[in-house]
Amino acid sequence: MNHKKLLHTLSENIQSKVLTVTPQRGTMPTNKFKDLLDKQAQDAIIETLTKQKIDATLISEEGDKVFGTGEYIITADPVDGTSNLSRGFPPAVLSLSIATEPHQSKVDAGIVTNFYTGETYYAEKDKGTTLDGYPVKPSPYIPYRHGLIGMDISKDPKLEKTTHLIAESRHIRQEGCSAASLCHVASGVLDAHIDLRGIVRSTDISAGLFIIKEAGGVYSINGELFGDLPLTRETRCTVIAANTMRLHDEILELIE
């Protein structure tokens, strides 16, 4: 299976379906509109895999499904940042990875596409990471206090862990879209991204983690450097991603 061709086809088809309905924003209750966005994106994945007769097991935030023999594992968050997209607030992305087994360590390719800009991050095993076809790398080391730090504290801020981190940083940003934040670390837009809530799903971050690793960045899952992760809808974790090991370890020291 040509991973690159399939992931780009899925990305194009998801964008097409989702952007068809975004003009309806404001014409219905927000929750109903969010459901519509998610359904459109999930339908695009199912239609594409069915039409192309792909043997894959789809692990998606919107529901799992087996196609043919289910040989490959496709982990998807069809719309990451649905709340953002439903209100017209960027960023919001689609996030897809392909693996040979249902574990993060077995991911071979990943793609993240921004619904607002069309910018597409793509990574393939041992081939690095690209943004719209051009290679990207994380930023060089910068002390935590002066770095541009992404942090997700919505829903469950874990203030006992994050208060010191917030106080020590001069530049905190919350994008409300895990996959986008991870890609921004991979390309040097952010210097680090921190999510200590323990509620982010593997479907949200599988592609983003792979994209960071291939770009040359660093991450830890549940405190384990480049830790493995079961690719299921139920899997939830903490994440620290950084441009360098030095900044990653500095973040750990601040937490402790």
Residue 253 corresponds to which amino acid? E
Average pLDDT over residues 58-70: 96
Q: What is the mean pLDDT of the chain?
A: 97
Average pLDDT over residues 25-42: 95
Average pLDDT over residues 109-121: 98
Q: What percentage of the chain carries pLDDT values higher than 70?
A: 100
Average pLDDT over residues 131-155: 97
Residues 140-143: contacts with CB under 8 Å, at least 24 apart: 140/243, 140/244, 141/243, 141/244, 141/246, 141/247, 142/191, 142/243, 142/247, 143/247, 143/250
Tell me the pLDDT band of 208, cut-offs 50, 70 and 90: very high
Q: What percentage of the chain carries pLDDT values higher than 90?
A: 98
CB 182 within 8 A of CB 226: no
pLDDT of 256 reads 84
Q: What is the pLDDT of residues 231-251, one digit of tens each?
A: 999 999 999 999 999 999 999
pLDDT of 128 reads 97
Average pLDDT over residues 172-182: 97
Q: What domains does the chain contain, in order, with CATH numbers?
A: 3-135 (3.30.540.10), 144-255 (3.40.190.80)
**pLDDT at position 1 over 90:** no
pTM exceeding the 0.95 threshold for the entire prediction:
yes
Average pLDDT over residues 50-79: 97
Average pLDDT over residues 138-147: 98
Tell me the pLDDT band of 164, cut-offs 50, 70 and 90: very high
pLDDT of 238 reads 98
Cα within 13 Å of Cα(126), Cβ side = 1
Place of tokens 């203030």: 159
pLDDT of 4 reads 97
Residue 136 neighbours by CB under 8 Å, 6+ apart: 121, 129, 130, 186, 187, 188, 215
DSSP secondary structure string for all residues of 184-248: HHHTTSSSEEEEEEEEEEHHHHHHHHHHHHHHT-EEEETTEET---B-STT-EEEEEEESSHHHH
Average pLDDT over residues 141-152: 98
Query: Residue 249, Cβ neighbours under 10 Å: how many?
Result: 15
**pLDDT at position 41 over 90:** yes
